[in-house]
Amino acid sequence: MRDVYDLNIDTDVNVQLSDCRQEDARAVFGVLDHYYVLEDVEAPAPAGAAPVTTVWMATFDTSGGRREEVSPPALSGKVVATLTGGYHAVGEVEKVLAAGFDIESIQAVSGDQETEARLLLAPR
């Protein structure tokens, strides 16, 4: 029975970025896109459109991708990142972010099969 369960582990991680500029959100998503498969992204509002988008969301599949390490981009400030998904998948995304940014764990909420990690990303 364990083999059946292992085949169904969720590898998708939903990443929400807030309290940051659009350029910083693109920089963080760019790092993850070089490492994992970008499955879905919510396009930011066009410049000058109202209301101003304050949360950017994307979903990454951690089971595949290019696994290209990139130089961490410069952030203009701190970024709040909320990661939601399976325990292993969220842990893997945290490791990739920690390789490129200074991270501080703000909060973690654990469920039966999913976890949510809230991180504060800062430039190095």
- Inter-helix orientation angle 87-100/22-35, to 10°: 120
Helices (H), the chain: 2-7, 22-35, 87-100
pLDDT of residue 9: 59
Calpha distance 116→67 (Å, rounded): 23
User: Which pTM does this prediction carry?
Assistant: 0.83
Going residue by residue through the chain (124 aa), what tens digit of pLDDT does each one get? Answer: 444 444 435 899 999 999 899 999 999 999 999 999 888 777 555 555 555 558 999 999 999 888 888 888 889 999 999 999 999 999 999 999 999 999 999 988 988 889 999 999 999 8
pLDDT of residue 51: 56
Closest CA to 38 of 8, 20, 56, 15: 15
